[in-house]
Amino acid sequence: MKILLLGSGAREHALARALARDPQTTELVVAPGNPGTAAIATNLNIDPCVPEEVVALATQMGADLVVVGPEAPLVAGVADAVRDVGIPCFGPGAEAARLEGSKAFAKEVMAAAGVPTAEAAVCTTEAELTAALDRFGAPYVVKEDGLAAGKGVVVTDERPVALVHGRACLSRGGRVVVEDYLDGPEASLFCVCDGATVRPLAPAQDFKRLLDDDAGPNTGGMGAYSPLPWAPADLAEQVVREVAQPVVDEMARRGTGFIGLLYCGLALTGRGLRVVEFNVRFGDPETQAVLARLTSSLPELLHAAATGRL
């Protein structure tokens, strides 16, 4: 199988390692890649967010599968463009990628699908923002509506800090989401989806704060581990049943089927399981921990998802 992998991070290095070690992979190109992927694959320097460049490369190399690592190319419609020329692509189209691209859209889909999540207010004015902060109270949870590379969320006991972040989000994107705080440990579950069927990988936990003892600003993620000895043994099954499958079914009902990786960011609260966020790609750094444990064939799994044969 000839595979084109898009991206340049540590996540893509982990994906490249799992793809390259499988005998089903006959050729692996990473675009643009990094020094780690250069050691195990061929790096080619294109812009992964430009659909025409990706389609040209995938066509030229005769790719059997395109795997999209980061969210930005997905939101830019790269997966749609690749599928339009008949090449299987692991990654959702632009409409389905809005599950990550807009927190407000994700909340709307969860409400329609009956998926448990924090109560939230979508604010478009400063008056709505201050009213929502007063309504939910501390700890304040303020989320940028659009993509922010994992850095758009502020959780703080300080109302002025929450207000400053909320104002900044409003000035950048026009919308900000204020949420009820979810207590309890967090977990990440990667669900491989083919538009109808969902297959979970092993749960992981990441740490998003910059400093020790869960202090400092949020980052995309400082480190991760898997397995989770403290989590219920049936966590993956529960998340598929209560979260991932209803969302995949809802996206199919809307005519925008979800093909790719549905990353379910979860809080295991005293009131039960709640969704913190969705991402539409492998998480970073959870991928590094989860794929190190994978015993089945990653190319076979991703190709089956991309061709509706999970």
Residues that bind ligand GLY (CB under 6 A): 150, 206, 220-221, 279, 283-284, 286
Question: How wide is the angle at C-alpha 214 spanned by C-alphas 216 and 168, nearest 5°?
Answer: 40
Q: Which two tokens stand for residue 254?
A: 């809307």
Q: Three-state DSSP class for 45?
A: coil
Smallest CA-to-CA distance from 244 within 113, 79, 71 is with 113
Cβ nearer to ligand GLY, comparing 29 with 289: 289
For tokens 């005293």, the residue is 270
Q: Which two tokens stand for residue 88?
A: 């299987």
Cβ nearer to ligand GLY, comparing 51 with 260: 260
Cβ nearer to ligand GLY, comparing 77 with 150: 150
Strand order in the sheet with 65-68: 42-43, 27-32, 2-7, 65-68, 89-90
Check: CB of residue 39 under 8 Å from CB of residue 67. no
Cβ nearer to ligand GLY, comparing 61 with 148: 148
Amino acid at 149: A
Cβ nearer to ligand GLY, comparing 145 with 284: 284
Q: Residue 206 Cβ, how far from ligand GLY at the closest point, in Å?
A: 4
Q: Residue 128 Cβ, how far from ligand GLY at the closest point, in Å?
A: 27
Smallest CA-to-CA distance from 186 within 160, 155, 164 is with 155
Cβ nearer to ligand GLY, comparing 144 with 286: 286
Q: Residue 188 Cβ, how far from ligand GLY at the closest point, in Å?
A: 7
Q: Which two tokens stand for residue 47?
A: 């812009």
Q: Residue 261 Cβ, how far from ligand GLY at the closest point, in Å?
A: 11
